[in-house]
Structure 1
Amino acid sequence: MIDIRDLTLGYPGVTVLEVPELSVADGAITYLIGLNGTGKTTLLRSICGLIAPAAGTIRVDDTVVRAHRTTPATLGMHLDYRAFDPRHTARRHLRWIARARGIPVGRVGEVLEIVDLVGVADRRLGHYSLGMLQRVGIAAALLGAPRTLLLDEPLNGLDIAGIRWIRELLRELADAGTCVLVASHLLDEVERNADHIVILGNRGVLADRPFAHLMSTLEPGETGLEDAYVRIAGVPGRLASGAAS
């Protein structure tokens, strides 16, 4: 579970995001959506302790996150598909992470099975496609069998089979009790798999609702999540088509 209180994120003289209160539940897939620049990645990085908030507190599974000092052991994350040494193989990369985190290296074989990379695990990452790199990042996030999982745009680069695979994986994890928080622009996929929606915009949280409740508020002429998002976020007409890209 993620619990946020009185959070302010930004840079000297610039406030990026203010979140007075936000809870992300266990046993559910919560999607974080918003236009570029609304603070999605900044919020995820602050939850991981990679950047310090200007104010406020973040707890993950009852552990207070202290930037650059405390990353909860129960937290798994995949925030950047470029965070790899291209000279390493997937197996070597995952073993290095496992040793650094005190996780038995036997777990590496298990997560390679989960992400279906066993057959190419000894190929250098520099020869991997974007979709394969996404799978490596997800494998790394799953090494510690996390209670809370954060993913930033994990669907980028995945083909149809990969999208179906991650959809099923996230559902299995949530059904097993994992807190899953995913930032995504792909509203069609969000609509297929979301339990809860958090919409960011105008330097704050514009909506924080169960998906079913959000869909129950559709206005005449609206047909789905994209329409609801455009209305709530106040997206201008020429940008509306980009909201789901």
Structure 2
Amino acid sequence: MIELRDLTVRYATTTVLDIPALTVPDAAVTYLLGLNGTGKSTLLRCVCGIIAPATGTVEVDGTWVRAGRATPSGLGMHLDYRAFDPRHTARRHLRWLARSRGLPAARVGDVLGETGLDEVADRRLAQFSLGMLQRVGIAAALLARPRTILLDEPLNGLDIAGIHWMRALLRELADAGTCVLVTSHLLDEAERNADRVIVLGTGRVLADAPLRELVDSGDRLEDAYLRITGAAA
């Protein structure tokens, strides 16, 4: 579970996030939606401790997150498909991450299998497509068997088989009790797979509700999203 209280993030004199309270529940796939520049990635980086908020607190599974400190042990994340040394192989990259977090080396083989990377594990990452790099990032996020997992635009670059695989993985994680928070611009995919939807606009929470409540009138999620954000104009 993720809990934010009285959270603000400022760059110089500009407030980019202002969230009085927000809870992302366990055992659910929550999609974080919003136009570019509304603070989605900033919010994920606050939860990870990469960015220090100006005010407020972040808790992950009951543990306070403090910028610059160790990542909570039950938190997995994939925030940037470019965060790799292209000279490394997938296996070497994951072994390095496992060692840095004090995780057993055996987990590397497990997550390579879970993400369908077994046959390409010893290729250099420079040879990987965007979709394959996304799978490496997701494998890294799964290393610690996380209770909470954050994925920033993980569907970018995936082909249809990859999207089906991702959909099944997110559902499997949520059904096992994991708190899953995903950013995406693919509203059709969110409508297929989300249990809960959070909509950000100019750094504020415009909506936070179960998917079925947002589309209860028979609208598509896209219609609800446009109505909430005023983006149709």
Q: TM-score, normalised on structure 1?
A: 0.94
Render the CA deviation track for 1:108-150: whole Å, top value 9, x for unaligned: 0000000000000000000000000000000000000000000
The SS at the match of 2:209 is strand
Q: 1:12, CA displacement in angstroms?
A: 1.6
Runs of 4+ in 1 over 4 A off after TM superposition: none
Residue of structure 1 in register with 2:61 after alignment: 61
The SS at the match of 1:188 is helix
For the pair 1:88 / 2:75, whether they are aligned, the reply is no
Letter paired with 2:228: I
The SS at the match of 1:122 is coil
Letter paired with 2:145: A
Q: Distance in 2 between matches of 1:128 and 1:90?
A: 9
For the pair 1:134 / 2:134, whether they are aligned, the reply is yes
Q: Distance in 1 between matches of 2:136 and 2:232?
A: 37
Render the CA deviation track for 1:69-97: whole Å, top value 9, x for unaligned: 14211000000000000000000000000
Render the CA deviation track for 1:150-180: whole Å, top value 9, x for unaligned: 0000000000000000000000000000000
For the pair 1:181 / 2:196, whether they are aligned, the reply is no
Q: Distance in 2 between matches of 1:93 and 1:75?
A: 18
Residue of structure 2 in register with 1:228 after alignment: 224
Q: Distance in 2 between matches of 1:77 and 1:202?
A: 24
Render the CA deviation track for 1:20-40: whole Å, top value 9, x for unaligned: 000000000000000000000
Residue of structure 2 in register with 1:240 after alignment: none
Residue of structure 2 in register with 1:40 after alignment: 40
The SS at the match of 1:46 is helix
For the pair 1:14 / 2:18, whether they are aligned, the reply is no
Q: 1:203, CA displacement in angstroms?
A: 2.5
Structure 1 residue ranges without an equivalent (≥5):
238-245
Q: Distance in 1 between matches of 2:53 and 2:203?
A: 14
Letter paired with 1:25: P
Residue of structure 1 in register with 2:23 after alignment: 23
Residue of structure 2 in register with 1:123 after alignment: 123
For the pair 1:150 / 2:146, whether they are aligned, the reply is no
The SS at the match of 1:171 is helix
Q: Distance in 2 between matches of 1:217 and 1:33?
A: 20
Letter paired with 1:197: V
Q: 1:202, CA displacement in angstroms?
A: 2.9
Q: Distance in 2 between matches of 1:168 and 1:80?
A: 21
Q: 1:214, CA displacement in angstroms?
A: 1.0
Q: TM-score, normalised on structure 2?
A: 0.99
Which moved further from structure 2: 39-48 or 64-73? 64-73
Q: Distance in 1 between matches of 2:10 and 2:42?
A: 9
Q: Distance in 1 between matches of 2:147 and 2:74?
A: 5
For the pair 1:106 / 2:126, whether they are aligned, the reply is no
Q: Distance in 1 between matches of 2:11 and 2:77?
A: 23
The SS at the match of 1:229 is helix
* 8 Å contact kept, 2:37–2:202: no
The SS at the match of 1:76 is strand
Residue of structure 2 in register with 1:241 after alignment: none
Q: Distance in 1 between matches of 2:119 and 2:23?
A: 39
Q: Distance in 1 between matches of 2:66 and 2:217?
A: 38
Q: 1:213, CA displacement in angstroms?
A: 1.0
The SS at the match of 1:216 is coil
Percent identity over the alignment?
69
